[in-house]
Structures are given as C-alpha cells and as structure tokens.
Amino acid sequence: MAQEVRGVIAPGKNEPVRVETIVVPDPGPGEAVVKIQACGVCHTDLHYKQGGINDDFPFLLGHEAAGVVESVGAGVTDVAPGDFVILNWRAVCGQCRACLRGRPWYCFDTHNAKQKMTLKDGTELSPALGIGAFAEKTLVAAGQCTKVDPSVSPAVAGLLGCGVMAGIGAAINTGNVGRGDTVAVIGCGGVGDAAIAGSRLAGAAKIIAVDIDDRKLTTAEKLGATHTVNSRTTDPVEAIRDLTGGFGADVVIEAVGRPETYQQAFYARDLAGTVVLVGVPTPDMKLELPLIDVFGRGGALKSSWYGDCLPSRDFPMLIDLHLQGRLDLGAFVSETITLDDIEAAFERMHHGDVLRSVVEF
Ligand code: APR
Ligand code: ZN
Ligand code: ZN
C-alpha cells in the first residue's frame, strides 16, 4: 500500500520550497523504501530550485541522506529491511562500457527507482539526483542504498552521500594523493574541506588551503590544512609556490568551479603535477590557457564527478575510519534543522555561514 509522508518540494522556478504530502509507492522489483533519518542541504538542491539543473518541476529535494531500509521489492538481495544505509546517486549498472571494463565508478547508466513518487493529486515528482530525501520516506533503486556501520550518527553519515564524498574522493580517488605529497585546495567550503580531510587521510605532507574568506580558512585548519592563503589579499599562485620550494604543489584541487580559480590551480601545480576540478562550473564559463603551457607542464588535468567514488567500496571504509577517530566527518555538520527550515538554510548556505545544515527526522 502506498504511504503518505511529509516532504519538501520545489514547486517551480525560484518559488519558495513547500512542505507537502508525498505519496510513496511500495517498492517494485529492484526498489527499496527508506525511512530517512537525516539529510544534508547541498548547493545542488538550491540549483534545482533555481531551475539551474532542468525544468522538470516539481522537484522533491534532498539527496545527502542516511536512514533505515523499511521494505524492499522483488529480487532485492543486497539490502534488507532494518539495514542502516547511506543513499548514493551512483547505483552502478554492471552492464555499460565503463562497468564492463572494470571501472564502475564511471558507470554511465546508473539506476534510480522506476516508479514515481507523487503529490496527493497524482502530480509526479522529480527526486533530486534520483533520491528526494527531504522526506520522511523515499523510494530509490536498491543499489542506491549502501550499508554502513549503524553506530555512526545519521547526520554525519548522510553527508558522505554527496558533497563530502566528492571532496574526499577528489583527493584520494581522482587526485591519487599519496604519502608525502604536497596538496593545495582552492575553495574551502564543504567540498574543499573534505578534499583537505581526504588529503590528510592519504598522508599528504603539506596541505595548503586557499579561500577568500578567513572564516573558511580557520575551519580548513581544523580539518588538516597545514598552511592557509587568503587569495583576496595574496596571490595564491605565488604563495603556493613559495610554500613548496618555488615549484608548486603535486596536486591542486579546484573546489570553486570558476575559470579564474581553475587558472590559479593550473599554474600552482608543480611540473608533472595534477589538477583536479571538483567545483562545478556553469555552462557559460570559458577557459583560455596557452596550449604550450598545457603541453609543457606535463602531468594531468582531471575532473572529478562525485569524487570518482564507488559507494560500496568507499562509504563503509570512510565510516569505519570516522568511527576510529581518523576522519572527522562530524566537523562538516554546522547545524541540525527540521524540514520546515530549509528555505532559511539555503539562505545561510548562500552567505557562507555554514558548511552543512542537516535536516534530522
Ligand atoms: N577563490 C577562492 N575561494 C573562493 C573563490 C575564489 N575566487 N570564490 C569562492 N570561494 C570559496 C568560498 O569562500 C567558499 O568557501 O569557495 C568556497 C565554496 O564553498 P561552498 O560555496 O560552500 O560550496 P561547496 O559545497 O564546497 O561546493 C564547491 O563544488 O560540488 C561543487 O557545486 C559545488 O561548485 C561547487 C563546489
Ligand atoms: Zn554501468
Ligand atoms: Zn549534493
């Protein structure tokens, strides 16, 4: 029997979000219904509301979530009712060209639930990133549920479902940061700070945090930055070179998503170094670089979607490291709020007042 729960929708472009009754169908084959315990507020939710992702309104927002599986549909064997899970937006298909080549973290045909959640009048909802977890319960593909140690706090666990995983993965998966590397991270919001925490975890010798906001640099130091640069007042390329013997960093992670900061990242890396772009640009942005510098500096220019994560490999491992005290995921939770506070949380996020606001149920 379909159930009715409370959830937060974006009804139309730039309209305020609204708490509505959401109809959640019973799980069909390959699907699961998850009782949400916590869900973080991410920039992508705001982009959906602003019409920046697509026009498939109304959206059921929320996608950085953890909860308990309530029921599963036919053929589901990997998760069972009662399992504590983090929701992911990379339920790999196992069949596409990336999966068949043994690189499922690039999967080009990820799974979502086939059935639609609706409003009471039958209007179909588009769940944000195929998740829609600003709701007491949500319907997803079973592969979107990744089991982790249930002793972790749900507010902390949910954040791994998107931005924090993107940042950690940009460092450890895409950038391949290793023991002794020098790393610079440009932009120290939730994603950049996670890249800093990931770099520390990977054994980076020097981690240089760059931001235009001193408040962000203070938090970055708590998460593992060994040096900080305010790029409003100091040229970040020169500062990073000065801190690395005049050469530049082995890995530079761009976590803003703008041409000027990408250019800084490009020139702040050592010869044969790696640039990782994890910040998301807008479609109008253009980059101009001398091609001779692209060639002459060697190395790798990479982008990182969702931190090149494989949820089944990375989520349980990172939760275990957190529980052992080796990765401070708790530092990313700035405040916990209720479903009724999301509009205000968008505002605080926009002003840079929080790393993450997390809705608790
Ligand atoms: N130079 C350095 N830092 C900057 C600059 C700049 N020119 N412009 C903004 N910043 C800093 C901000 O001060 C902030 O600390 O970048 C940080 C961005 O952080 P958030 O806005 O909190 O965003 P976050 O959630 O970390 O995401 C960063 O990654 O996933 C993408 O869409 C996301 O593009 C966004 C990026
Ligand atoms: Zn695939
Ligand atoms: Zn997100």
Give per-residue pLDDT as tens, 16-44: 999 999 999 999 999 999 999 999 999 99
Query: Could you tell me the pLDDT band of residue 92, with boundaries at 50, 70 and 90?
Result: very high
Contact 126, 331 (CB under 8 A): no
Please name which of 211, 174, 179, 167 lies closest in space to residue 331, comparing C-alpha atoms.
167
pLDDT at residue 1 greater than cutoff 90 = no
Residues with CB under 6 A from ligand 1: 43, 163, 166, 186-192, 210-213, 216, 231, 255-258, 261, 278-280, 352
- Dist. CA 89 → ligand 2 center (Å): 12
Residue with CA nearest ligand 1 atom 25: 190
Going from the Cα of 313 to the center of ligand 2, the distance in angstroms, rounded, reads: 15
| Whether domain 167-304 has CATH 3.40.50.300 | no
Indicate if the pLDDT at residue 124 is higher than 90: yes
Q: Ligand 3 centroid to 163 CA: how many Å? A: 5
Q: What is the pLDDT of residues 142-186, one digit of tens each?
A: 999 999 999 999 999 999 999 999 999 999 999 999 999 999 999
Tell me what pLDDT residue 156 has: 97
Which pLDDT does position 157 carry in this prediction? 98
> What is the average pLDDT across 207-234?
97
pLDDT in tens, 179-218: 999 999 999 999 999 999 999 999 999 999 999 999 999 9
Residue 66 has which token pair?
């953890």
* Sequence-distant (≥ 6) Cβ neighbours of residue 126 within 8 angstroms: 54, 56, 57, 58, 59, 60, 132
- The residue type of 114 is K
Q: In the structure, how many helices (H) and strands (E) does the chain have?
A: 11, 18
pLDDT tens digits, residue range 48-67? 999 999 999 999 999 999 99
Identify which ligand lies nearest to the alpha carbon of 102.
2
The pTM (predicted TM-score) of the whole model is 0.97
Q: Record the tokens describing residue 58, joined without a space.
A: 């109304």
CA of 256 to the centre of ligand 3 (A): 14
**What is the pLDDT averaged over residues 92-113?**
96
pLDDT at 230: 98
H-helix segments, 175-310:
190-201, 214-223, 236-242, 259-267, 291-296
Q: What is the pLDDT of residue 39?
A: 98
Q: Which ligand is nearest to the CA of 231?
A: 1
Distance CA 300, CA 330 (A): 32
The residue whose CA has the least distance to atom 35 of ligand 1 is 279
Query: Quick one: pLDDT at residue 173?
Result: 98
Q: How far is CA 172 from CA 29, 104, 122, 244, 317, in A?
A: 35, 16, 44, 20, 13
The residues placing their C-beta within 5 Å of ligand 2, an ion, are 93, 96, 99, 107, 109
Mean pLDDT, rounded, of the chain: 97
Q: What is the pLDDT of residue 191?
A: 97
Percent of the chain with pLDDT over 90: 98
CATH level 3 topology of 3-161+328-360: Quinone Oxidoreductase; Chain A, domain 1 (3.90.180)
What the block records as the tokens of 241 is: 């070179």
pLDDT grade for 347, boundaries at 50, 70 and 90: very high
Please state the atom number of ligand 1 nearest to the C-alpha of residue 210.
2
Confidence category of residue 278, pLDDT binned at 50, 70, 90? very high
Mutation to probe ligand 1, out of 89, 211, 303 (largest number of atoms < 8 A from CB)? 211
The domain locations on the chain are 3-161+328-360, 167-304
